[in-house]
Amino acid sequence: MDWKGYTVIYVVLFAFATAQAVVEFAGLVDSAYWAAFALIMVLSVIKAVGVAAYYQHLRWEPRAVTYLVLGGTVAALALTGAAAYSIL
């Protein structure tokens, strides 16, 4: 990927970060908390995937590297999810 591609990614990341703050400034967090929560987290996930796929070049690496990363992520999510569920 050349610098132009990287720049496009950068602009998108910047815009999404701004969008997250806008959700808050617009008062959505107060009026519809869980909708805002979902929206903001989805934006974060998209940003993270973007950084990993393009800036960290996971797109061009063997899939095994992605699985390695997913392994860690799934472990962390399992811990968080099951632990939180256990006290609901």
Binding site for another protein (CB under 8 A): 2-3, 6-7, 9-10, 13-14, 17-18, 20-21, 23-25, 29, 33, 36-37, 40-41, 43-44, 47-48, 51-52, 55-57, 61-65, 68-69, 71-73, 75-80, 82-88
CA distance 53 to 61: 9
Answer left, alpha or beta for residue 61, where phi above 0 means left and psi between -120 and 50 means alpha: beta
- State in angstroms the smallest separation of the CB of 31 from another protein: 13
- State in angstroms the smallest separation of the CB of 33 from another protein: 6
Q: At 8, list the tokens.
A: 């496009």
Choose between 59 and 77: whose C-beta lies nearer to another protein. 77
Choose between 31 and 88: whose C-beta lies nearer to another protein. 88
- State in angstroms the smallest separation of the CB of 80 from another protein: 3
